[in-house]
Structure 1
Amino acid sequence: MMSLRSIARNAPRALARATSATSTIRTTSSTFLRTARPSTLLRPTQITSAFSTSTIRRTAIDEEGATETELASKLDEELKYETSVKETEHMPASIKDFLENSQFEIKDIPGSEDVILTRTYGNEKITVSFSISDLTNYSAENDFDVDEALGDEEGENHEHDNSTAAELDAEAEEDGQYDHEESIPCRLNIVIEKPNQGALSVEAVAQDGTIMVENFYYYKDAKVAHSNDANAAHAAGRLYPGPVFGSLDEDLQVLLERYLEERGITPALALFVPDYMDMKEQKEYISWLQNVKGFISA
């Protein structure tokens, strides 16, 4: 299950700067904001905010370097908080169990968004890759949906402007809005290769402990299946990959899913991927804070 911490950090700056009346309504409409610290440094996801440079210019004139000092202090505050959270959190059981019992090897390069799992099965080489960019993209989509919903709600519910945040929060809890964390869909790219036989390329989604297959492709050239470069991607675009998985005969779908499960594409993997993605995002965020603070302070 995906941590709400990551979602809270990705909330748009517009929500943080909302007026008191508007923010009261938005507090109940944005479930993920309920767990955010007021002092958390929010990171916009694919959202840009206009700002005035006049204040910055005045600060620079009044006291050279004041902004850098304040920014470095804020980054240090955020870094200490995130580090303390990391130290107090335990590794999820889904990650521990998968690492101990799975035959997959993990390639996780610091600073990279992608995580790659590899294993062999007979004469087959199996690669499963996923990316923490799914978390960012999902947050951005949720932010857009929430803002649209808030616009409708604000237009229809002006009579509730004077309600307190506590009252609205209590109502939300009674309605069961906070009973469950929302599971984030994580895209999986699965490639199964055989020597001189090409490769199967499978597009799937891991969510709520389930692997949902979307497409099941075949390529004579295994390099095309990986699409690591522009030439491979161009070649893949000109080939007939196969029908949409959901359009296949149901018995055939079941057998193909069983085929994948025998090769380690199991519910255990579906539980592991979202939790590992969340853990990696936290680690990469801390690294980003350290790098930016080091740059500002140099």
Structure 2
Amino acid sequence: MSALRALRQLTASSSRSLAARSATRAVARATVAARVAPVASRAFSVSAKRLGEGASDVALTQRLAEELKYETEAAPPTEPEFLKAFKAQGTWSIEDTPGLDEVTLTRKFGNEDIRLIFSIADIQTEQEAEFEEGQEGVEEGAEDADAPLHAYPIRCSFSFTKASTPGALTIDAMCQEGTFVIDNISYYSDAKVGTELTAEADWKRRGYYLGPQFDTLDISLQDEFDKFLQERGINQTLAYFVPEYAEHKEQKEYVSWLKNVKDFVEA
């Protein structure tokens, strides 16, 4: 299935290491639970009705508040340096809507409009897997101390359109360890079908030929496609930025989620 379709179906699912952050959150929750429980039991009888009909509202609200306080204090006070540096280059524009798990990067290159879409849903899945692996033993983790911080793969979808032609070129790839691993390159004679993020366009794409697997192409042809992408700024720098920004956004969305849930419970 193309990455573009996969991105639309991922809704169900700071440069700290994700595994370290997961473990830290777990420890923080355990510490908060031990510290908050006595307070919750004392406040319950007089406050439960104020927050709602549920007997657990007070304890849940307090623990959400503690987690929110911890995450807020741990967050950098200003925009992270990696993001400042990326914006300073002035090559790509970032479209990041709060509450959504997708991020879009866009740029102009000659007469081309280039768009990259990726999702933070892959981070959350990998975060759980890394935490489970970390629980198996510290020694095993120590052996991987030199492993890249962003070793997890993130699905990416690129699209290329031109005002002078009705077609669109799309590329499905995985971003991992500073590189984009191309899955396939597709061509759509109708740019709307190839690029629109609607249910109708997604349904139409299902019947199109997606192109051959990229690694089955002649090596020389693969090399030329690599040069094509490098020239357009789809390079190692961008491949390192994508997971770092995805991690940054996931943290922001987690803090926002904590606040929204706490506000709802205590309303």
Q: Is the 8 A contact 2:71 2:255 kept in 1?
A: yes
How is 1:1-298 mapped onto 2 (pairs within 5 angstroms)? 3-5=16-18, 8-9=21-22, 33=23, 35-40=24-29, 66-87=55-76, 91-93=80-82, 95-140=83-128, 146=133, 169=138, 171-172=139-140, 176-180=143-147, 181=149, 183-195=151-163, 196-298=165-267
Cα distance in 2 for residues equivalent to 1:78 and 1:125: 42
Identity level (%): 36
Cα distance in 2 for residues equivalent to 1:66 and 1:8: 31
Deviating above 2 A after TM superposition, structure 1's stretches of 4 or more consecutive aligned residues are: 1-9, 63-66, 87-90, 137-144, 177-182
Distance apart, 1:284 and its partner CA: 0.6
Q: Is the 8 A contact 1:2 1:274 kept in 2?
A: no
Distance apart, 1:5 and its partner CA: 4.4
CA separation of 1:246/1:281 partners in 2, compared to 1, >3 Å: closer, same or farther? same
Question: What corresponds to 1:158 in structure 2?
Answer: none
Q: Is the 8 A contact 1:98 1:268 kept in 2?
A: no
Q: Is the 8 A contact 1:129 1:189 kept in 2?
A: yes
SS of 1:206's equivalent in the other structure is strand
Question: One-letter code of the match for 1:123?
Answer: N
Q: Is the 8 A contact 2:150 2:177 kept in 1?
A: no
Q: Is the 8 A contact 2:19 2:131 kept in 1?
A: no
CA separation of 1:185/1:106 partners in 2, compared to 1, >3 Å: closer, same or farther? same
SS of 1:38's equivalent in the other structure is helix
Question: What corresponds to 1:26 in structure 2?
Answer: none
Distance apart, 1:97 and its partner CA: 2.4
TM-score under structure 1 length normalisation: 0.69
Question: One-letter code of the match for 2:27?
Answer: P
Aligned length: 233
Q: Name the Cα RMSD after superposition.
A: 2.8
CA separation of 1:260/1:102 partners in 2, compared to 1, >3 Å: closer, same or farther? farther
CA separation of 1:7/1:229 partners in 2, compared to 1, >3 Å: closer, same or farther? farther
SS of 2:152's equivalent in the other structure is coil
TM-score under structure 2 length normalisation: 0.77
Cα distance in 2 for residues equivalent to 1:271 and 1:182: 8
Question: What corresponds to 2:41 in structure 1?
Answer: none
Q: Is the 8 A contact 2:158 2:170 kept in 1?
A: yes
Unmatched runs of 5 consecutive residues or more in structure 2:
1-13, 31-43
Question: One-letter code of the match for 1:226?
Answer: T
CA separation of 1:179/1:266 partners in 2, compared to 1, >3 Å: closer, same or farther? closer
